[in-house]
Amino acid sequence: MYQYNQNDQTLIEQRVAQFRRQTERFLKGDISADQFRALRLRNGVYIQTHAPMLRIAGPYGILSSRQLRKLAHIARKYDKGYCHFTTRQNIQFNWPKLEKIPDILEELASVQMHAIQTSGNCMRNTTSDHLAGVCIDELEDPRPYCEIIRQWTTLHPEFDYLPRKFKIAVSGALHDRAATQFHDIGLHLVKNDAGQIGFKVLAGGGLGRTPVIGQVIRPYLEKKHLLSYLEAVLRIYNLYGRRDNMYKARIKILLKESGLEKFTQSVEKEWLLIKDGRELSDERIAAMQTQFARPPYESDAGQDNSFALRQQENKAFATWVKHNTADHRVSGYRAAFLSLKAPDSPPGDMTDTQLDAVADLADQYSFGEIRSTHRQNLIFADVKQADLFPLWRQLDALKLATPNIGTVTDMICCPGLDFCSLANAGSIGVAKEINEALDDMDYIHDIGDVKINMSGCMNGCAHQSVGHIGILGVDKKGAEWYQLTLGGSSENEAAIGERLGPAVAKDQVTKAVTTILDVYVQQRLEDESFLDMVKRVGITPFKEQVYADN
Amino acid sequence: MQIIKDKQIIDDSWNYIIDDADLEPGDISVSLARWKKDKQQLLEREGKLGVRMGPADSVEDFAADLKDLQLIELDFPAFADGRIFSHAWLLRGRYNYQGEIRATGHYLPDQVFYLSRVGVNAFSPEKTEDLPVTLANLDDFSVKYQTSIN
Ligand code: SF4
């Protein structure tokens, strides 16, 4: 993973010092609440229902064991002993005290971490494929470009006060695991007709209130022009994005209101004026690539026989391997998911004890590196197959081996009414209830790939609109109600879920979900996935059953 | 009234003339609208000239006039209006404007490091008490990741 140089380190330390001064000025009354809001948001500090919330950047999801131990320490010392992994590969603490946040940021800086631009109307953490560099369907590793973009976006002097937040995702694989079609800018490494690799550039995608699928604004961009092209898009957005209405301020609205052609023309016109003299050199790209060089894999890892044997002997282990590990491009290695969706814990949460233990396991089994995923789980990307059995046993003891990755209980879920001041409805409690109703692992595995995403309000932090089953908390005269959607997807065949019907009451959500699953089990064709069936039959059969009693 | 220019606290020699007021002698700035309307009259008087533009104005619109102007004031109606940052960049980066670019209005002392990086070299503070913190904040960072103006 990327290691900071002296400049990187100085920058984050100076940022901590700056925020410390700002916090002091605020506490002394020298800055108004409104002004301080803009400053604290750019340092990841929200004011929530109970306390400030601090969101820390996980750059494209990659963390070291040392960083994980620091998170454990912060959880113990400044919070209530746990942290939360988000859908954008960031980490949140829900209970820090405002006056302590500069100290927390200083602790983070000591392990090359920060909270810069994790909220506010600015360029956010760049996200990527959680299997980058190890998956078998990759054209090129996107991480070096992610780091180049991370640096470029960090403290960008011209684009820190944008009309609205701005998110960039990069993918280098055939299968889009980074939801690039739902970002303000999505970058896809692609090959052109001449066999060179560059970027396909998408813009204007986004979730939230008005989910929109991004459109291609440039089918092919030479790598060397990456930053000048981003600069052109950002300048056009900064100058012409709407600032009169926050709900119309994302780049997706600018693109829609100008039309794809006109928007693309303005970007290209701007880009032509700046592109020369700002090229990324081959040396810079190569130097960044060495930061993400392959770890020292063992060449004989594939010769091990124990892995196959253990799976034959132990059904539970075999089930875990089937659901919670992924193919690796190096023979004898697999990527192993750590499920943060144990039945009795809030999705995405981890305790300090788990964090410390996982750091030790990462050192022992996966070159000291941990990744977070868009579905709020963790991954050890480089585990030798012979190590999977002992790893599994230890993860099981830590309650991190629930074999439910990609299944219906691998829900993504925002903090909802329990923590978030914007929420209309609770989500953690509902997730728990659905989990309790779906306690039969064989049934869950039989259902297969069903992604449930649940958000506590229209802001859609848990991306409910692209859930195969989306659940959205709405407020009905002060009561918590839930709007269901079916058929969304954030992957290659991007789709926005369709509304099933009127919202249902809180005590009816679990029943609605189990009914939807029953309809699928009864009416699916052989080997037909849930999403495929929804596409084939539409929502009517589901709707009829869910609302049968009304 | 004191301002910061090129990292020094100095006395301000400029006067901004509101749109329907009579022109005054000395160094004056006027709104972009007035500049367009009274350009001839303004050019014929003695003293330096400046234009105050807001976020909704366009630099391209009066780029041809920049040679006649010694000051451009970038006026923040609200600190969050980030268009000002691109205007400053365009003035320096695209039109190679060499005169004074001054931030006025409701910006934050916490934004001056970024403003100086996109080419703003003078700061008229919202309150005189802000002068020391504004000056200090120009040195918030000693490192940077992007090419911009500075
Ligand atoms: S979706 Fe709404 S309730 Fe949930 S975390 Fe986001 S803002 Fe809060």
Q: If you average pLDDT over residues A261-281, what whole number do you get?
A: 96
Q: How confident is the model at residue A422 (pLDDT cuts 50, 70, 90)?
A: confident
Per residue in A299-328, pLDDT tens?
Answer: 999 999 999 999 999 999 999 999 999 999
Do A138 and A94 lie in one domain? The reply is no
Is there a contact between A150 and A398 (Cβ–Cβ < 8 Å)? no
Q: What is the CATH number of the domain that holds B103?
A: 3.20.20.70
Total domains in chain A come to: 4
pLDDT of A415: 83
Is B40 inside a domain boundary? yes
- pLDDT tens-digit series, residues A209-219: 889 999 999 99
Structure confidence at residue A50 (pLDDT): 66
Q: Which residues line ligand 1 (CB under 6 A)?
A: A 414-416, 420, 422-423, 455-457, 459-461
In angstroms, what separates the C-alpha of A491 from chain B's closest C-alpha?
32
Mean pLDDT confidence for A264-278: 96
ipTM exceeds 0.95, yes or no = yes
Q: Do B82 and A35 lie within an 8 Å CB cutoff?
A: no
How many domains does chain B fold into? Answer: 1
- Same domain? For A228 and A157 the reply is yes
The boundaries of the domain holding residue B115 are: 2-137
- The SS3 assignment for A495 reads strand
Min Cα–Cα distance to chain B from A13, Å: 9
Nearest to B119 by CA among B78, B90, B142: B90
Question: Is the residue at B69 inside a domain?
Answer: yes
Same domain (yes/no): A275, A308: no
Give me the torsion for CA of A192, A197, A198, A204, rounded to 10°: 70
| Residues 6 or more apart in contact with residue A99 via CB below 8 angstroms | A23, A27
Q: Kindly state whether residues A155 and A272 are assigned to the same domain.
A: yes
Q: How confident is the model at residue B101 (pLDDT cuts 50, 70, 90)?
A: very high
Which residue owns the Cα nearest ligand 1 atom 2?
Answer: A457
Can you give the pLDDT at residue A550?
Answer: 61
Radius of gyration of chain B (CA): 15
Residue of chain A with shortest Cα separation from B146: A152
Note whether A328 and A392 are same-domain residues.
Answer: yes
Closest CA to A187 of A255, A126, A134, A241: A126
Which residue has tokens 């305790």?
Answer: A351
Q: How far apart are CA A345 and CA A351, in angstroms?
A: 10
Rounded Cα distance between A232 and A164, Å, is: 17
Please state whether A470 falls in left (phi above 0), alpha (psi between -120 and 50) or beta. Answer: beta
How far is residue A297 CA from its own chain's centroid? 27
Provide the CATH number for the domain around residue A74.
Answer: 3.30.70
Do A254 and A135 belong to one domain? Answer: yes
**B143 in any annotated domain:** no
Reduce the DSSP state of residue B3 to 3 states and report it. strand
| Residue-level pLDDT at B29 | 97
Decide if pLDDT at B137 tops 90: yes
Distance CA B115, CA A224 (A): 27
Side-chain-facing half-sphere of A188: CA atoms under 13 Å: 26
Q: Which of A119, A412, A420, A427 for mutating ligand 1's site (highest number of atoms within 8 Å of CB)?
A: A420
> Is pLDDT of A549 > 90?
no
**A267 in the same domain as A177:** yes
Of A11, A38, A159, the CB nearest to B79: A38
Residue A49's pLDDT band (boundaries 50, 70, 90)? low
The verdict on a CB contact (< 8 Å) between B86 and A161 is no
Please tell me if residue A163 touches chain B, with a CB cutoff of 8 Å: yes
* A99-103, A138-142, A341-345: least confidently modelled range: A341-345
| Per-residue pLDDT reduced to its tens digit, B32-69 | 999 999 999 999 999 999 999 999 999 999 999 999 99
| Domain hosting residue A530, numbered range | 412-546
| pLDDT of A131 higher than 80 | yes
pLDDT tier for residue A417 given thresholds of 50, 70 and 90? confident
A310: CATH: 3.90.480.20
Specify the pLDDT at position A264: 98
Is B111 close to A11, i.e. CB distance below 8 A? no
Residue to mutate (ligand 1; options A461, A463, A465, A466; most atoms within 8 A of CB) = A461
Residue A9 has pLDDT above 80, yes or no: yes
Per-residue pLDDT of A469-514, as tens digits, reads 999 999 999 899 999 999 999 999 899 999 999 999 999 999 999 9
Q: Residue B98 domain-assigned? A: yes
Integer Cα distance of B100 and A290 in angstroms: 44
Give which of A15, A22, A279 is closest to B144, Cα–Cα.
Answer: A15
Residue given tokens 């046993």 in the structure block? A393
**Domain shared by A48 and A93, yes or no:** yes
Q: Are residues A70 and A142 in the same domain?
A: no
Confirm or reject contact between A243 and chain B (CB < 8 A): yes
Q: Is residue B42 a part of any domain in this protein?
A: yes
Contact A158 B148 (CB under 8 A): yes
- Among the listed residues B101, B99, B49, B112, the one whose alpha carbon sits nearest the alpha carbon of residue B74: B101
Q: Tell me the pLDDT of chain B averaged across its residues.
A: 96
- In sign, the C-alpha dihedral spanning A391, A394, A395, A401 is positive
Looking at every residue in chain A, the average pLDDT score rounds to 95
Atom of ligand 1 nearest to the CA of A415: 5
- Beta carbons of B82 and A160 less than 8 Å apart: yes
Does residue A362 have a pLDDT over 80? yes
Contact A88, A354 (CB under 8 A): no
A111 — contact with chain B (CB < 8 Å)?
no
Residue B5 has, within 13 A of its CA and on its CB side, a CA count of: 14
Domain with residue A471: its CATH number is 3.30.413.10
Read off the pLDDT of each residue in A158-176 and give the average, rounded to a whole number: 97
Mean pLDDT along residues A255-272: 97
Give the CB-side neighbour count of residue B107, counting CA atoms within 13 A: 31
Please check the confidence at residue A48 and state whether its pLDDT lies above 80: no
Same domain? For A348 and A324 the reply is: yes
Give a yes or no: residue A17 inside a domain. Answer: yes
